[in-house]
Structure 1
Amino acid sequence: MMNNQSYDSFWNTAKRGFMRMPTAIRWIIGSTTIVFLIQMLGGNFVNNLLFQAFAFDPSFPTVFIQPWRLITYAFLHVGFLHFLFNMLWLYWVGRSVEETIGPRSFTIVYFSAAIFGALLDAIFANIFGLNLVIGASGAVTGVLVAFAMLYPRAPIMLFLLPPIEARYFVVGWVLIDVLFIGKQDSVARLVHIGGALSGYLLLKAYKNGTDLSVIIRYFEYLFGKLKPSRKPRNNNMSIVRDVEVVEEVEQSELDEILEKISKDGYDALTKEEKQKLFELSKKK
């Protein structure tokens, strides 16, 4: 009975932990895990079918006539460690990014990095080799760059190394890819660089006030999931122009929380501060 209780407790705990993930990250990790399990259970035959149908092929004209590969390749992985490290990095750095910019904007950052990385690889494929590309590394690199731009001083802990500020870690990460372009090491360096560049450009646009979620909101509206809310106006009510005052107070609170993250890291926030950050980020 104890063993059954422990087994049940483990799966309940795992389920609660999974459901507490931010929305977009939960969906991405869940979908990628399902695909990976299909790969593992299906063996070489299923793997080969998946690679031939969904891996990114930079050759002409495949890159144009099979555009779904620009996204589907990011759900495929070549082995357990490849899958594990991509999902761990996505969770570690992605959750604070999503909680800051919101799930829709995060989804745009993630998949834009995957797409841009694949396209950059296609541009230079004839120089550095026409190889099928799989893995979420390019998309994760875009998220990592976004994290460093939002929290440049946040410490990143690596095994047997002292804490490294996110901004320095990301520069080193990308620099390694630049230095090893063209090396025959089965790593899609150009995809990483393209993902990093996409993450940088999108976060710069976000900081300048661009609504990154507009594309997803458009499709939600198109398919009826998002409807404009129009409340009837009460002519007996007067208008109080205190919006600017409220926005100034909220911005001050947000600045204090972000300053704490930049000094001590996201995990140093209290439960109330994390909830406040999430609520304020949804209004931005």
Structure 2
Amino acid sequence: MRNNMAYDSFGSAMKRGFMRMPLIIRSIILVNAVVFILQAIGGNTLNSWLIQNLGYDPAFPTFLSQPWRLITYMFLHGSFFHVLFNMLWLWWMGNTVEQTIGPRSFAVVYFSAGILGALFQSALALAFGYNLVIGASGAVTGILVAFAMLFPNAPIMLFLFPPIPARFFVAGWVALDILFIGNGDNVARLVHIGGALAGYLCIKAYKNGNDLSMPIRYFEYLFGKHKPKTGSKPKNKNMHIVSDAEIIEETEQSAIDAILEKISKEGYDALTKEEKKKLFELSKKD
């Protein structure tokens, strides 16, 4: 009886921990885990079929005639450690990023990094080869760059190393990819570099006041999640409520901008408990 209770307690703790992850990170990790299990238990035949039909082929015109590969390749991995470390980096760095910019914006950064990374591979494939690409590394690299831009002074703790500011750690990460391009180690370094570029451009746009969530909101509108109300109706006499909401939204944006500015200058750990709570609450409203 005690063993069953301990097992249930552990299972419940795991479930609670997983459900507390931000929405998009939780979803990405779940899909990657399910796909990798299929790769592992399906044998060589299924694994080869998945890679050959869903992996990214940078050759022309395959990437144009089979555009789904721009997305599906991110969910395939070559080994347990390949998927494990990609998901660990995504969870470690991406957790704060998603809480800061919101789930829709986070999804745009992640998939933009994966897609631009793949296209970058295609653009330079003639010089570096047309190898089939699988893995979430390009998308994850974009998230690493996003984290470094949002929290440049956040300390990165590595075993046997002193704390390294995020901006230096991620810059070194990308520099290694550039340094080892074409060395034949079977790592899609061009995809990493393209992903890093996408992460940089997205967060640059975010800091300039652009709404990164617009592509997601557009698709939600297309699929009817937020249909506009039809039919004419008299002007609402309480329309001033809309103006009040806009004022509140602007005030909240100013508050989060001030917090992000403090993080940029002093690091995440410099925030007070109240500021961390405020940052988390505001980021969930995307």
- The alignment's TM-score, normalised by the length of structure 1, stands at 0.90
Separation (CA, whole Å) in 1 of partners of 2:241 and 2:73: 55
Residue 167 of structure 2 aligns to which amino acid in structure 1?
R
Hey, what does 1:104 align to over in structure 2?
A: 104
Residue 233 of structure 1 aligns to which amino acid in structure 2?
N
- TM-superposition CA deviations, 1:237-265 (whole Å, max 9, x none): 79987965884576246524662586353
Residue 187 of structure 1 aligns to which amino acid in structure 2?
V
Note the residue ranges of structure 2 that are not aligned, 5 or more in a row: none
- Does residue 28 of the first structure (1) align with residue 28 of the second (2)? yes
Contact 2:143 2:199 in 1 (8 A): yes
Separation (CA, whole Å) in 2 of partners of 1:20 and 1:90: 15
Q: 1:121 to 1:250 in 2, by over 3 A?
A: closer
Q: Percent identity?
A: 59
Q: 1:131 to 1:236 in 2, by over 3 A?
A: closer
- Does residue 234 of the first structure (1) align with residue 237 of the second (2)? yes
Contact 1:151 1:258 in 2 (8 A): no
Q: 1:238 to 1:20 in 2, by over 3 A?
A: closer
Contact 2:31 2:75 in 1 (8 A): yes
Contact 1:153 1:165 in 2 (8 A): yes
Separation (CA, whole Å) in 2 of partners of 1:66 and 1:176: 31
Hey, what does 2:51 align to over in structure 1?
A: 51
Separation (CA, whole Å) in 1 of partners of 2:269 and 2:61: 45
Separation (CA, whole Å) in 2 of partners of 1:236 and 1:202: 34
Q: 1:237 to 1:156 in 2, by over 3 A?
A: closer
Hey, what does 1:41 align to over in structure 2?
A: 41
Report 1:93-242 matches (<5 A).
93-228=93-228, 233-234=236-237
Q: 1:46 to 1:104 in 2, by over 3 A?
A: same
- Does residue 82 of the first structure (1) align with residue 85 of the second (2)? no
Q: 1:88 to 1:268 in 2, by over 3 A?
A: farther
Residue 180 of structure 1 aligns to which amino acid in structure 2?
F
- TM-superposition CA deviations, 1:93-125 (whole Å, max 9, x none): 101111111100100000010000000101111
Separation (CA, whole Å) in 2 of partners of 1:240 and 1:205: 26
Separation (CA, whole Å) in 2 of partners of 1:52 and 1:19: 33
- The alignment's TM-score, normalised by the length of structure 2, stands at 0.89
Q: 1:125 to 1:47 in 2, by over 3 A?
A: same
Separation (CA, whole Å) in 2 of partners of 1:61 and 1:238: 53
Contact 1:154 1:262 in 2 (8 A): no
Q: 1:235 to 1:224 in 2, by over 3 A?
A: closer
Q: 1:74 to 1:267 in 2, by over 3 A?
A: farther
